[in-house]
């Protein structure tokens, strides 16, 4: 079967299904239709925070276009498509689109300039003349992911149904985390191809690199159940800097050319089949839900009314029993979340206790090396040194605490999700037994949100007319050096604990806000899925019950329409599976 024929048949299936599905599903179908028409596909760059995703994307483009940050960016997806010149536009949640300059991108995708996405950005679209985009790729930069980032306010996982192929970034230190393994297990079966990149290879020597490669490869093979997992080692930093400087030798040594050749080979040989298979699979997923609904309505409509009443009443009884079990699970989940927040509080307290004397000791080393300088110069120098030390210590601590909190939250959330999934499975089993119809299973993702309002307060609050500063200047100018030195030390001893305590409070508040928000989103999401399962069954049987109370002629007419609808859906399903089988043969 030619690509054009297969594409037309999938588009026909989309056109047939569009009036039968809900609005959000129609949007997904429309996106598939557009992609098939343009023969483009989404190559999504995935990876945890600090893996170098932004630098990698900029290296592919050959310039520093997308902003990077010390702290995680907001949950904003950036789409990069081909265009003859660099242009950018912001798509807002309210439907508005605004053109911006490339320099303004950071104002919409960074936490610093768009905290908690207060500007209401849906995504940012960038046109760029990079050769890799000209080949039909839509390069997608997602928020940081991992098993704990699965929702990431539903952005990254919300985009996964549109993923045709992915580039997953790892780094040499650490090479692979259990959270990344968990995330990959979730997405690997649903993505046609993932290219694994081991970034930051310039940090290690050849022997260590081989050891890291073997470790990562072994774990990936075991976790994903595949022996064919090529890993591309490279230094995105050297590739980007080499291209900016026009240093082709540095670019070649960075390792990025090997990956680009693999991507190009993949595009030339497999892109059409990938687009077709990916689109067909996504349409089949929608079909399964529609077929279940039709089957349930037919079964309920052909069940005697008194028997149907009994089954509905029994379903209501079990639903109440299950609801109590769910409430018990939520109570335990809340307790574990409270414990996690307490862990963060204890960590912040311990950090402050341990770091103040260590930072002060380092400050005294700076003081001793510069005490020969003028009093006012020395005072300014010590203020600067304190700020730099605080930023470094807090940045290091936040990254470590982020990993710790993410791992613990992931464990708690997974246990809660598994429990509620088990409850939903009970509900599915009940419906299957009552109506002899298998229910569609809902997948649940849990995450800790990547959004962060964190910022450090390092400057002193401005004083009215800065009288204290003026007094300090006069004192430092007329007092003996020994007295001034003592004053500077005393001020540091007072100010340093205050700064540490204040910023520990800010970090704690940020983590608590993210943990609480993630937990609320997960609970809400689980409740929604639970309610959807119940409502789906109840709506179908109530609709059938209402039909049973009508005349036999009306029942027969409705059943005829349902069976025709089922036959139509099953015909589309067979056709799509046929396309998949043929494309599978071509790929082999």
Q: What is the pLDDT of residues 77-96, one digit of tens each?
A: 889 998 999 999 999 988 89
C-alpha distances (whole Å) from 249 to each of 49, 73, 132, 527 are 29, 32, 20, 56
The residue count of the chain comes to 588
Mean pLDDT of 238-247: 94
Mean pLDDT of 98-103: 93
Average pLDDT score, the chain: 79
User: With bands split at pLDDT 50, 70 and 90, how would you rate the model's confidence at 149?
Assistant: very low
Cis ω before 174 (30° cut-off from 0)? yes
Percent of the chain, pLDDT > 90?
A: 18
Cα 105 from Cα 91, distance rounded (Å): 12
The answer to whether the beta carbons of residues 63 and 109 sit under 8 Å apart is no
**pLDDT at residue number 94:** 84
**pLDDT at residue number 479:** 59
Q: Is 125 left (phi over 0), alpha (psi -120 to 50) or beta?
A: beta
User: With bands split at pLDDT 50, 70 and 90, how would you rate the model's confidence at 458?
Assistant: very low
Cα 193 from Cα 262, distance rounded (Å): 12
Which one is predicted more confidently, 173 or 453?
173
**pLDDT at residue number 155:** 52
**pLDDT at residue number 518:** 79
**pLDDT at residue number 88:** 94
Percent of the chain, pLDDT > 70?
A: 82
Cα 133 from Cα 324, distance rounded (Å): 52
User: With bands split at pLDDT 50, 70 and 90, how would you rate the model's confidence at 468?
Assistant: very low
Most confident of 153-167, 301-315, 365-379, 473-487: 365-379
Question: 28: how many CB neighbours lie within 10 A of its CB?
Answer: 17
User: With bands split at pLDDT 50, 70 and 90, how would you rate the model's confidence at 104?
Assistant: very high
Whether residue 577 is predicted with pLDDT greater than 70 in this model: the reply is yes
Question: Which tens digits make up the pLDDT trace of 63-74?
Answer: 999 887 544 555
User: With bands split at pLDDT 50, 70 and 90, how would you rate the model's confidence at 460?
Assistant: very low
**pLDDT at residue number 106:** 87
> pTM to 2 decimals?
0.49
**pLDDT at residue number 453:** 39
Mean pLDDT of 497-518: 86
Domains of the chain in sequence order: 41-254 (3.40.50.300), 302-444+469-549 (no CATH)
The answer to whether the beta carbons of residues 90 and 100 sit under 8 Å apart is yes
Q: Is 437 left (phi over 0), alpha (psi -120 to 50) or beta?
A: beta
Question: Which tens digits make up the pLDDT trace of 250-283?
Answer: 999 999 999 988 887 776 566 667 777 778 888 8
**pLDDT at residue number 338:** 93
Q: Estimate to the nearest angstrom the gap between the alpha carbon of 441 and the chain centroid.
A: 22
Whether residue 197 is predicted with pLDDT greater than 90 in this model: the reply is yes
**pLDDT at residue number 151:** 37
Q: Any residues with CB less than 8 A from the CB of 443 and at least 6 apart, and which?
A: none
Which one is predicted more confidently, 144 or 294?
294
Most confident of 11-20, 37-46, 401-410, 516-525: 11-20
């Amino acid at each position: 079967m030619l690509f054009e024929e297969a594409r037309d048949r999938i588009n026909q299936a989309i056109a047939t299904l569009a009036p039968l599905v809900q609005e959000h599903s129609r949007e997904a179908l429309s996106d598939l239709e557009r992609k098939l028409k343009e023969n483009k596909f989404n190559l999504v760059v995935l990876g945890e925070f600090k893996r170098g995703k932004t630098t990698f994307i900029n290296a592919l483009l050959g310039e520093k276009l997308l902003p990077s940050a010390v702290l995680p960016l907001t949950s904003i997806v950036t789409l990069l498509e081909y265009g003859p010149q660099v242009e950018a536009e912001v798509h807002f949640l309210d439907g508005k689109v605004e053109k911006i300059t490339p320099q303004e991108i950071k104002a919409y995708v960074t936490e610093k300039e768009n905290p908690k996405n207060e500007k209401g950005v849906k995504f940012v679209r960038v046109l760029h003349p990079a050769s890799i985009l000209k080949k039909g790729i839509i390069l997608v930069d997602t928020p940081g992911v991992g098993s704990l980032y699965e929702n990431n306010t539903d952005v990254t996982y919300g985009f996964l149904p549109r993923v045709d192929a992915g580039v997953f970034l790892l780094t040499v230190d650490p090479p692979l985390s259990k959270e990344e393994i968990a995330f990959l297990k979730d997405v690997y079966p649903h993505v046609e191809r993932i290219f694994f990149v081991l970034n930051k290879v310039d940090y290690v020597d050849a022997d260590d690199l081989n050891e890291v490669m073997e470790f990562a490869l072994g774990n990936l093979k075991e976790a994903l159940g595949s022996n064919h997992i090529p890993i591309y080692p490279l230094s995105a930093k050297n590739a980007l800097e080499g291209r900016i400087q026009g240093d082709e030798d540095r670019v070649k040594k960075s390792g990025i050319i090997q990956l680009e050749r693999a991507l190009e080979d993949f595009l030339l040989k497999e892109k059409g089949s990938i687009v077709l298979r990916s689109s067909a699979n996504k349409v089949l997923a929608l079909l399964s839900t529609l077929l279940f609904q039709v089957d349930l309505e037919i079964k309920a409509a052909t069940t005697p009314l008194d028997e149907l009443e009994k089954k509905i009443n029994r379903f209501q009884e079990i639903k109440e029993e299950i609801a109590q079990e769910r409430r018990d699970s939520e109570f335990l989940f809340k307790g574990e979340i409270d414990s996690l927040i307490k862990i963060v509080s204890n960590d912040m307290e311990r950090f402050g206790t341990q770091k103040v004397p260590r930072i002060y000791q380092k400050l005294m080393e700076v003081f001793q090396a510069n005490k020969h300088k003028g009093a006012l110069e020395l005072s300014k120098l010590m203020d600067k040194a304190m700020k730099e030390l605080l930023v470094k210590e807090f940045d290091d601590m936040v990254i470590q605490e982020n990993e710790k909190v993410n791992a613990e939250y992931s464990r708690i959330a997974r246990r809660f999700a598994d429990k509620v999934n088990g409850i939903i499975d009970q509900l599915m089993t009940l419906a299957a037994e009552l109506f002899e119809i298998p229910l569609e299973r809902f997948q649940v993702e849990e995450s800790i949100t990547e959004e962060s309002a964190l910022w450090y307060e390092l400057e002193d609050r401005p004083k009215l007319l800065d009288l204290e500063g003026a007094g300090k200047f006069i004192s430092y100018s007329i007092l003996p050096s020994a007295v001034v030195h003592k004053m500077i030390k005393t001020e540091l001893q007072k100010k340093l604990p205050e700064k540490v305590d204040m910023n520990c409070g800010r970090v704690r508040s940020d983590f608590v806000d993210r943990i609480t928000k993630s937990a609320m989103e997960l609970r809400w999401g689980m409740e929604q899925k639970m309610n959807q399962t119940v409502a789906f069954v109840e709506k179908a049987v109530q609709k059938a019950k209402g039909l049973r109370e009508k005349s036999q002629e009306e029942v027969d007419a409705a059943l005829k329409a349902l069976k025709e609808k089922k036959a139509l859906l099953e015909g589309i399903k067979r056709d799509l599976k046929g396309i998949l089988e043929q494309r599978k043969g071509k790929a082999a």
